[in-house]
Structure 1
């Protein structure tokens, strides 16, 4: 199974209306459609750009205001996925669940109108202490016409166990939307993405925010780069990098994935890390 994927290095900048947000998002989707992309990934905390819109007193909106945009967000991305026949991971958006808990949730929009979600499972100190968020309560994988995939957001990728669980459930591709404000955070995520491709012999597509929201607390600095990563073995590019962007530039990164190669290296690669895991010494997941 072959597919073409793309990741957006999304430039955050202050806006004054939802229409401006929609115009910017649509630009990237149209750009990806020109490359005949099947899956498009946007970064974590994409919709914090909406917080740069001001209230009646000229103050930036607060994180508790973000769930009020959920219907508009879903309608925008659902419409774009249908119009362009594309699977779109719309980054993450902060929602409030039925119990009033605030969660950071990745959304996958299919061309047929299906919308599936995965809440972030591991939260950073800022998300907990400053934004009063709650973690997700379970891992899902999602079947698509191009195979099984999972969405693990930023900090999630730094926990090998959860990625191992996604692979055990059948995921061949992990989409990892991210948002980091400095080099330290960026490289934590990036290096862990590489490690997870080697441990599980999977593809990972990741991207982050760039630019700055001058009015929004904790979003004033962003350090990001998109990358499409493979296991580090002979059938794949050297260093396991299929494609990567220019750090902190506004751009689209595109690459092709051959899922059949994953099965080949799992069976007879230079190393066979998935097959050789010692389940007699440490647990596996069903």
Structure 2
């Protein structure tokens, strides 16, 4: 159902030539006023149509609860220790009835601290050896808790290349991947990481999301594309080692939320891995970021953690509010793009 109207998604036209305007106006005038008010002006909002087609439509489904983990890095001795720590955070989010839980970028580097038989820390080249255990752990936890889990990022190997890949674990056992698209100089020089070559958005029963990792959020073009593809929530796992890096990601997360009128959920690693190169220093804080408009907090922050503390933060996202401000907010930044002057990201 859409906003309480008695029309199912399979009754809606599937062709671009279908009379969407007449049908939605008939069954739900409120929906019509939001979605089709500007169709005649050439400002049709495609994200609404895609949302109808996948059934994300009832008032209940327009809301979702997200948790973000400020993951505490410390030396461990076994994969079991890692698994127990992960399960602790997921059970915490489950106790808050979260629909989604986000882990940080590079949090699986903690596994490198286990070390080898000679007592030396593992190298980044050895981290992909844990991929099957990592996937199995998160698949089982997602199915058990019925939550969508963004398992931070994990380094995987394809051929002779290493990729920093965000993973979405669905409650039904499916797994989706999004490689980091923009690689920092340190990742290239010290870890020989390769960039991903494409952006996807992911449909869930709660809405359409994208996963953009840390440095990715600093590039406005890629977030424009994610929004144009229908994403309403950007999950941004991050790993920064000082205040400078942290604030680059944080400030640009706010900018992307304002520019695209989307939510951004971000978090980072805290703690330290004293034996693992480039993971000794961490400066992190989770936050759930909104556009800056009347329905939202003035600072554009629904919730944020205590900097560098081991904790989980939780907040509710109302997708309906996004659609309202896109149509009739104090500013309508997505609708008012000057596509006659610069590209219309599709």
1:29 aligns with 2:90: yes
Cα deviation for residue 54 of structure 1 reads 1.2
User: What CA distance in whole angstroms lies between the structure 2 residues aligned with 1:124 and 1:92?
Assistant: 15
Cα deviation for residue 150 of structure 1 reads 0.2
> Which residue in the other structure is 1:227 paired with?
287
Cα deviation for residue 38 of structure 1 reads 0.3
Give the aligned length.
Answer: 285
1:117 aligns with 2:177: yes
Cα deviation for residue 217 of structure 1 reads 0.1
The one of the two structures with greater contact order (alpha-carbon pairs below 8 A, sep at least 6) is: 1
User: What CA distance in whole angstroms lies between the structure 2 residues aligned with 1:201 and 1:100?
Assistant: 39
Cα deviation for residue 261 of structure 1 reads 0.6
> Which residue in the other structure is 2:260 paired with?
200
> Which residue in the other structure is 1:147 paired with?
207
User: What CA distance in whole angstroms lies between the structure 2 residues aligned with 1:252 and 1:238?
Assistant: 23
1:166 aligns with 2:226: yes
Q: 1:48 aligns with which of 104, 109, 124?
A: 109
User: What CA distance in whole angstroms lies between the structure 2 residues aligned with 1:180 and 1:284?
Assistant: 32
1:285 aligns with 2:329: no
Q: Deviation per CA, 1:226-283, whole angstroms, max 9, x where unpaired? A: 0001000000112110000000000000000000111100000000000000000000
Mapping 1:1-286, distance limit 5 Å: 1-97=62-158, 99-286=159-346
Unaligned runs of 5+ in 2: 1-61
> Which residue in the other structure is 2:9 paired with?
none
Unaligned runs of 5+ in 1: none
Moved over 4 A (4+): none
Q: TM-score, normalised by structure 1?
A: 0.99
Q: Deviation per CA, 1:196-225, whole angstroms, max 9, x where unpaired? A: 000000000000000000000000000000
User: What CA distance in whole angstroms lies between the structure 1 residues aligned with 2:216 and 2:115?
Assistant: 32
Q: TM-score, normalised by structure 2?
A: 0.82
User: What CA distance in whole angstroms lies between the structure 2 residues aligned with 1:114 and 1:279?
Assistant: 37
Q: Deviation per CA, 1:175-205, whole angstroms, max 9, x where unpaired? A: 0000000000000000000000000000000
Which structure has the greater CA radius of gyration?
2
SS class of match (2:273): coil
Cα deviation for residue 46 of structure 1 reads 1.1
SS class of match (2:194): coil
User: What CA distance in whole angstroms lies between the structure 1 residues aligned with 2:327 and 2:145?
Assistant: 36
